[in-house]
C-alpha cells in the first residue's frame, strides 16, 4: 500500500486500512441500476427508498455541493473473521466482531476524521466522511477509485484483499494531486460458489444484486418486524442471528488473503463470540427478561443492537424451533 500524501502507508496500516483509492468522478456509474433495483427491494430497506436519499445518491454534489473528489479506504476485519472461522462461529457476521468488538461506525468515523485532520494540517481543504451511514453509493465510489469489482454476490471484491472489509470515504471540496487507479476488471468468471451456497436464493445472478426479502442479513438486521417470517430456506443456514457471511466464506477471492492473515479477536469481541455460541435457548433466557431499553444497554457500543430486542428474539425463536 502506498503513502497518502503526507500520511505514510505504515500509519494507514495502524488504522486497519489495507488499501485506498482516489477518484474525482462524482457521478456513480451504477445509479440507474440502483433505481431499477429499488422498487422491488426498498420496502425492506426503507432508508434507501426515501426520495431525498435517492437524489443524494445520484451525485456526490447532490449530497454535498462542494464535493470534488474522494479517497476510499478498505478497513479490514479479516483477522477477526479468520478467528471466527477457526472457531466455526458463523452466527454473527464477521464485521460485527471485528474492530475489537466495537461498533464499526464509531471506529471508522474516528479514524476517518483523524486522516482528514492530518491532511488539513498540510492542505487548505474541507472534507466530509462517509462510512455506511450516508446516502452515497459507496460500492460504486470504491469501484470508481479502482478498488475492486462488483461480485456476483453484489459485494465489492478486491483482487488482493477479497471482501472482508468495510468501506470508508473522505469526500473533499477540491481535487487532490493523487494518481488514479485503473478500473478493476471482473474476475468472477464462471464461478457460482456464492450463488450455489446461498440457502435462500437471495442472489440475482442476472443483475448481480441481492433480493432484500430473501437475504438473511436483511432479515436478521434490518427487518424490525417481530412477526416477519424468515426467508424460505433459512433453515439450511448455519444458525445466523446477526447478518450472514455465507456468500463471502465460499468466495475463492477470500481464501488466499485470509490464509496468510494471523487470527486476531479483541477481548470484547471474544466475549461476545462465547455469548453467541451457546445454545439458542440460553441466549433467549438472557434476553427475554430485558426491556427494550435494557437490551440496547447490553449491546451498547457494538453494532449488535441495530435489530432491536423484538426482532432479535424472533430470530432466536426461529432457530430454537429448528433445533
The pLDDT tens digits for 33-77 are 999 999 999 888 988 888 999 999 999 999 999 999 999 999 999
132 is catalytic: yes
Handedness of CA 204, 209, 212, 218 (dihedral sign): positive
Q: Does the structure show a pLDDT above 90 at 298?
A: yes
Distance CA 183, CA 189 (A): 17
Catalytic member of 3, 19, 100, 132: 132
Per-residue confidence (pLDDT) for residue 226, from 0 to 100: 86
Q: 51 to each of 55, 128, 202, how far by Cα in Å?
A: 6, 22, 25
The mean pLDDT of 256-271, rounded to a whole number, is 94
pLDDT higher than 80, residue 323 = no
- What single-letter DSSP state applies at residue 24? -
User: Per residue in 183-240, pLDDT tens?
Assistant: 999 999 999 999 999 999 999 999 999 999 999 999 999 998 888 999 999 999 999 9
Name the band, by pLDDT with cuts 50, 70 and 90, for residue 136.
Answer: very high
Tell whether the torsion through CA atoms of 128, 132, 136 and 138 is positive or negative. positive
In this predicted structure, what is the pLDDT of residue 241? 98
**Which helix (H) or strand (E) element contains residue 86?**
helix 78-86
pLDDT at 133: 87
**Entry pTM:** 0.96
137-191: per-residue pLDDT in tens? 999 999 999 999 999 999 999 999 999 999 999 999 999 999 999 999 999 999 9
d(CA 69, CA 176): 7
Q: What pLDDT is attached to residue 225?
A: 87
Average pLDDT, the chain: 96
115 φψ region: left (φ > 0), alpha (ψ -120 to 50), beta (else): alpha
Amino acid at each position: 500500500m502506498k503513502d497518502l500524501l503526507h500520511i505514510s502507508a505504515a500509519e494507514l496500516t495502524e488504522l486497519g486500512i489495507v488499501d485506498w483509492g482516489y477518484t474525482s468522478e462524482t457521478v456513480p456509474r451504477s445509479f440507474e441500476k440502483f433505481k431499477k433495483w429499488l422498487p422491488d427491494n426498498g420496502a425492506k430497506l426503507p432508508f434507501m427508498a426515501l426520495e431525498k436519499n435517492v437524489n443524494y445518491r445520484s451525485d456526490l454534489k447532490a449530497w454535498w455541493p462542494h464535493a470534488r473528489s474522494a479517497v476510499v479506504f478498505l478497513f479490514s476485519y479479516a483477522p477477526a473473521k479468520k478467528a471466527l472461522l477457526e472457531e466455526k462461529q458463523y452466527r454473527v457476521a464477521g464485521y460485527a466482531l471485528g474492530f475489537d468488538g466495537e461498533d464499526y461506525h464509531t471506529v471508522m468515523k474516528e479514524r476517518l476524521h483523524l486522516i482528514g485532520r492530518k491532511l488539513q494540517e498540510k492542505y487548505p481543504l474541507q472534507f466530509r466522511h462517509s462510512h455506511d451511514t450516508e446516502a452515497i453509493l459507496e460500492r460504486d465510489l470504491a469501484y470508481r477509485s479502482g478498488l475492486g469489482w462488483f461480485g456476483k454476490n453484489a459485494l465489492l471484491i478486491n483482487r488482493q484483499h477479497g471482501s472482508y472489509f468495510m468501506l470508508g470515504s473522505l469526500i473533499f471540496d477540491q481535487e487532490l494531486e493523487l494518481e488514479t487507479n485503473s478500473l478493476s476488471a471482473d474476475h468472477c468468471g464462471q464461478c457460482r460458489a456464492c450463488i450455489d451456497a446461498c440457502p435462500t436464493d437471495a442472489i440475482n445472478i442476472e443483475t448481480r444484486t441481492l433480493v432484500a426479502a430473501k437475504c438473511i442479513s436483511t432479515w436478521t438486521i434490518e427487518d424490525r418486524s417481530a412477526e416477519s417470517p424468515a426467508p424460505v430456506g433459512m433453515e439450511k443456514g448455519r444458525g445466523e442471528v446477526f447478518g450472514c457471511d455465507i456468500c463471502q466464506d465460499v468466495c475463492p477471492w477470500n481464501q488466499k488473503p485470509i490464509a496468510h492473515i494471523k487470527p486476531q479477536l479483541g477481548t470484547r469481541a471474544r466475549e461476545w463470540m462465547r455469548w453467541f455460541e451457546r445454545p439458542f435457548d440460553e441466549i433467549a433466557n438472557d434476553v427475554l427478561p430485558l426491556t427494550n431499553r435494557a437490551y440496547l444497554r447490553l449491546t451498547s457500543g457494538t453494532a449488535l443492537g441495530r435489530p432491536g430486542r423484538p426482532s432479535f428474539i424472533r430470530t432466536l425463536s426461529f432457530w430454537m424451533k429448528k433445533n
